[in-house]
Amino acid sequence: MRAQTYLDYNATAKVRPEASAAALAAMAQAGNPSSVHADGRAARALIEDARAEVAGLVGARAGAVTFVSGGTEANALGIKSAVAAGFERLIVGATEHEAVARAAQAAGLAVETWPVNGDGLADLDWLEARLAAGGPVLVCLMLANNETGVIQPVATAAAMVRGSGGWLHVDAVQAAGKIAVDFNALGAHTLALSAHKLGGPQGAGALVAASDASLTPSLRGGGQERGLRAGTENTPGIASFGAAARAAVRDLAEITGQAEWRDALAASATAFGATVLGAGAPRLPQTLCFATPGFSSEVQVMALDLEGVMVSAGAACSSGKVTPSGSASAMGRPDLARFAVRVSGGWASSRADWRRCGEVWCEAFDRAVARRREVA
């Protein structure tokens, strides 16, 4: 059988063995975490242990963590809470994930798009001017971009937003587990996390909230999650999230080391005319997004897949279609949007995986050029 090379961790990470084991152990544990008997208390302990681990992932207090169904719900809860707190102006980064962009639109308020520069970095001068333009603002800025891996200057933005009486919501779904995240040092009001991007299960996530950020219930019903998110807890998913968070903290140095393998692949691709998106910005160590004019995202993803190498188009879309990269367009390179591919490693990726991706990509590029010559 041909070797399978999975380099699509930003879409979803391979589940870590610790996370699978924790999910199985939690499923074997009877009891509703709200029940006061022994089994209920044992289930509750699994959730509170996981809360401490997830809090530890971002250096927060355990009490600051509310478990929800994933990154999408965490972002929605943060945004909804700020709107309920009375913020009537919204500023949303130009390269935010749809989970943020659409939740902001759904608030029914005027949304201003915060532009990024050619490297995908949010323009802080623009923010300063807009904050001065009056009225407290809810500002949404992701910590790391899902397509390019570009890391935003969140701490600086938070100081500016706080100084103007605003609320900063941060989507840290792609950053957590790939770079060190310190919630208190960032200074955000709310911060969204998702288990499946760091080796936990799909369908579990968390919103971390500062003590001065008052949250509005996401779902009403039973009083779970301090009344913020009703419904019997997803104990296996939460326990598994906790195990993945602990492992991610342990493995941070290894993930950091992938930057070298990422850069070797970038060097191969740029030698064939590719442009690395966000090359001049700080980026996640395991994410590479590059665009090669004339070599469409779709063709690249399929050519690699035929050889057992799994990557995404710049923007992987939930419908399974390959859509042009929104980040490339926001970065002033709409000409590259149809040609972007994203390679993203994770806890189980090796140097050999990145090398194989580079070899297969170069061969595919050569074949595409040869085909074009035949046609011409």
Interface with ligand PLP by CB under 6 A: which residues?
A: 70-72, 75, 97, 99, 142, 146, 171, 173-174, 194, 196, 205
Is the CB of 211 or the CB of 318 nearer to ligand PLP? 318
- Residue 75 beta carbon to ligand PLP: minimum distance, rounded to whole angstroms: 6
| H-helix or E-strand spanning residue 288 | strand 287-291
3-state secondary structure of 76: helix
State the virtual CA torsion across 94, 96, 101, 102 in degrees, nearest 10. Answer: 140
Is the CB of 207 or the CB of 265 nearer to ligand PLP? 207
Is the CB of 194 or the CB of 275 nearer to ligand PLP? 194
CA–CA gap between residue 262 and residue 7 (Å, rounded): 11
Q: Are 122 and 116 in contact (CB under 8 A)?
A: yes
140 as an active site residue: the answer is: no
Backbone φ/ψ region at 339: left (φ over 0), alpha (ψ -120 to 50), beta: alpha
Is the CB of 313 or the CB of 360 nearer to ligand PLP? 313
- Residue 299 beta carbon to ligand PLP: minimum distance, rounded to whole angstroms: 23
Q: What is the number of the residue whose Cβ is closest to ligand PLP?
A: 71
- Residue 192 beta carbon to ligand PLP: minimum distance, rounded to whole angstroms: 7
- Residue 342 beta carbon to ligand PLP: minimum distance, rounded to whole angstroms: 11
Query: Which CA distances in Å does 307 have to 290, 310, 311, 361, 364?
Result: 19, 9, 11, 10, 10
Q: Are 131 and 89 in contact (CB under 8 A)?
A: no
Q: Are 239 and 53 in contact (CB under 8 A)?
A: no
Is the CB of 131 or the CB of 239 nearer to ligand PLP? 239
Residue with tokens 């200074």: 187
Q: Are 181 and 197 in contact (CB under 8 A)?
A: no
Q: Are 50 and 65 in contact (CB under 8 A)?
A: no
Please report, in angstroms and rounded to a whole number, the separation of the first and last CA atoms in the chain: 37
Residue with tokens 């591919």: 341
CA–CA gap between residue 347 and residue 307 (Å, rounded): 22
Strand 309-310 with 5-6, pairing: parallel
- Residue 158 beta carbon to ligand PLP: minimum distance, rounded to whole angstroms: 18
Is the CB of 103 or the CB of 291 nearer to ligand PLP? 103
Angle between helices 17-28 and 235-250 (to 10 degrees): 150
The single residue of 140, 289, 317, 362 carrying the catalytic annotation is 317
- Residue 10 beta carbon to ligand PLP: minimum distance, rounded to whole angstroms: 6
Annotated catalytic sites, by residue? 317
